[in-house]
Chain A
Amino acid sequence: MTTTATRPADNRRRPFLNRPSARNRPFNWRRTIAWVLLGVAIAVSILPFYWVLRTALSTNGSLAANSASLLPADFNLGAFKRVFGFQTAQEAIAEGGSGASINFWQYLWNSLLFSSITTAGAVFFSSMAAYAFARLRWKGRDGVFSLFLGTMLVPPIFTALPNFLLVKNLGLLNSMLGMVLPYLFMTPFAIFFMRQFFLNMSREVEEAAMLDGAKHWRIFFQIVMPNAAAPIATLALLTFMGQWNEYFWPLLVGTTEETRVLTVGLGVFKSQAPQGAPDWSGLMAATLVSATPVLILFAIFGKKIVNSIGFNGTK
């Protein structure tokens, strides 16, 4: 990103334009075509979400007859009531549901618990480890770090089998503890992410504290962590969303009604489909409920999330 002193004019325009588009400025039709194509990509990305909402607000019986109508077919909140268990079995069956008991409040709570606990644990303990990898000098440091990073290459299914056996032998199948344990102490990505930040953090404040006789743990908790609030927030967001979307491990370990998370519950809801036509509006309502927390986080922290993409990709 270094510019030569002979081109001051470029320097001023750089934030707004880049060379190729500036060169093609006169050909406006090119920009128009580019916008149209980009518009198609954006539409393909977000219109399905509208379709989910529209279906969730429809009534099963009217969906077939109005399969292409852009507005909800026979507007109705029954699907959401069904998902949250506010309908009796008879009502549910009458509206095209399976009538099987399904309680998304429980799943929602489990997902929230599972994601929050693992995020808190992984971010905190990984930050501690990252500090040791970035700031402390000790024998074997780089070797241990590479070993930690190497685990990123091991496919999750490979460790999932032995981990399942371990959790089973500990008697923790179908418990929240069994579900969170493998994620609780670290994730390789979290360590990598925080280490990168600590490496670039200014040492001055730490040094001042050190000269005043503060010990490492005090420096870490009172100076380093507060200063790292922004990257920690980003990491926590990314970790939380990843955990919220996790399917395979909870599918293995949390199979009872009490421990099922939303993703697993959705799969069960789908497979309970009644004979004949599936309960599409119920299924889409459930899908929307499962997506809502992530959508809310995205609405609040969108910029942070978007800007974090590319962090581990380039640079």
Chain B
Amino acid sequence: MTTLTKQPDPGLSAGGPQKSRKRGKPAADFRGTGDLKTALFFIAPAMLGFVLFYLVPTIRGIYLSFTEYSILGDPEWIGTRNYERIAKDPLFWNALGVTSQYVIINIALQTILALGIALLMHRVAKSTLVRGALLMPYLMANVIAALLWFWMLDYQIGIVNQLIEWLGLPRVAFFGSEQWAIPTQALINTWRHMGYTALLIFAGLQAIPNNVYEAASIDGSKAVSTFWRITLPLLRPVLVLVLVVTVIGSFQVFDTVAVTTAGGPVNATRVLQFYIYQRAFNEQDFGYGSALAVILFLILALVAFIQMKFLRGNQSDLD
């Protein structure tokens, strides 16, 4: 990677004599360590955005979580009292339970369906048209997906309940019953994401070299055992990545809940992010909201760490 001849200021001092001297020695001019001034110019706007809207807010968010702050006045330091309150807050534990339920249903449905679709595509159809059709839901806003299904799943005249009744089954109150509200939210999200996830897995399938399959077929491996013993293990890095991204995304479910059930019925869909939103913006309790956000942050970091560590997502078996 580095064949550098040290040059103090290659960009700025590249003048006449260098021209002839350096010809035929590619890349040397770029490999000094003296581009700092130029780099600062290029990086300044991004750095400003990074510091103002990512770095400082992260630190400030942690600070606020140790304070009592209702927007009016100044934050008042109260130590760990917010966290002590959270530990005893039944609504927080409810939110955590409901969110976990959502995450689990979502992951199971989405990963299995996406894997199935990816395998089907790998087998019969790779055209852009098919992939485009499957990707359509993903391009829609969460709000749009939510409203679309809010209508299709309506208890009275939604088309899905018409079909259910036509099949001779009782109607389902998808959004109205505590039992169904969370699975319904997970279904909406699965609908929006399954094609996208399928395309990611499909890209992983394409990357498995054919000679692996050839070897398996010469050894007399059947399609099913080829899948379990070759395809799935070789897909592991992609699957882990998909899992990490899906789990982290699912823990932050908000949009669909906010426009359809708004936490209800009762507390059935009061997911973590919606609860944070309510505490911070409806009840102006920014300290408590920040502490909840820190907890969510820690959960996500832990989940990502566990997944990468135990599923070895950064290593490929192909190497």
Contact = CB atoms under 8 A, between A and B. Distances in A.
Interface in A212-247: 212-213, 215-217, 220, 241, 244-247
B11 interface: yes
Interface stretch (B76-84, B89-97, B100-108, B133-141): B133-141
A151 B130 CA distance: 34
Contacts of A148: 46, 50
Nearest to A187: B49
Nearest to A156: B252
A8 interface: no
B33 A138 contact: yes
Given A51-B148, A207-B27, A266-B259, 4 more contacts: A128-B46, A136-B42, A166-B53, A216-B11
B268 interface: no
Interface string B221-246: 00100100000000001100110000
Contacts of B16: 213
A185 interface: yes
A270 B132 contact: no
B3 interface: no
Contacts of B116: 37
Contact of B46 (A34, A185, A216): A185
Contact of A283 (B10, B41, B147, B207): B147
Interface of B: 4, 10-12, 14-16, 18-19, 22-23, 26-27, 29-36, 38-39, 41-43, 45-50, 52-58, 60-61, 64, 71, 113, 116-117, 120-125, 128, 130-137, 139-144, 147-152, 154, 156-159, 162, 166, 191, 194-196, 198-200, 202-204, 207, 209-211, 213-214, 217, 223, 226, 237-238, 241-242, 248, 251-252, 254-255, 258-259, 273, 276-277, 280-281, 286, 289-290, 293-294, 296-297, 300-301, 304
Contacts of B300: 153, 155
Given A137-B34, A157-B252, A203 B132 contact: no
B160 to A, nearest CB: 10
A203 B147 contact: no
Interface of A is mostly: helix
B57 A166 contact: yes
B19 A46 contact: no
A313 B273 CA distance: 26
Contacts of A252: 281
Interface of A: 1-4, 10, 14, 18-21, 23-24, 31, 34-35, 37-38, 41-42, 44-46, 48-49, 51-52, 55, 63-64, 67-68, 125-126, 128-129, 131-133, 135-139, 141, 144, 147-148, 151, 153-159, 161-166, 168, 181-182, 184-186, 191, 203-204, 206-207, 210-213, 215-217, 220, 241, 244-248, 251-252, 262-263, 266-267, 270, 277, 280, 283-284, 287, 290-291, 294-295, 298, 302-303, 305-307, 309-310, 313-315
A206 B140 CA distance: 40
B191 A137 contact: no
B147 A287 contact: yes
A266 B48 contact: no
Given A161-B290, A213-B15, A245-B142, A51 B159 contact: yes
A51 B10 CA distance: 62
B123 to A, nearest CB: 5
A290 B255 CA distance: 15
Contact of B11 (A156, A182, A210): A210
Contacts of B213: 18-20, 23
A53 B130 CA distance: 21
Nearest to A68: B162
Contacts of A135: 30
B61 A19 contact: no
B240 to A, nearest CB: 11
Contacts of A20: 122-123, 213, 223, 226
A240 B49 CA distance: 18
Contacts of B304: 153
21 contacts: A3-B211, A21-B124, A45-B136, A48-B137, A51-B159, A52-B148, A128-B43, A129-B43, A136-B30, A137-B34, A138-B36, A161-B276, A162-B56, A210-B14, A246-B141, A263-B255, A290-B141, A294-B140, A298-B136, A305-B135, A306-B131
Given A41-B134, A67-B159, A158-B294, A191 B46 contact: yes
Identify which of A41, A156, A277 gathers the most chain B CB atoms within 10 Å of its CB.
A41
Contact of B200 (A55, A168, A314): A314
Given A18-B210, A185-B46, A48 B58 contact: no
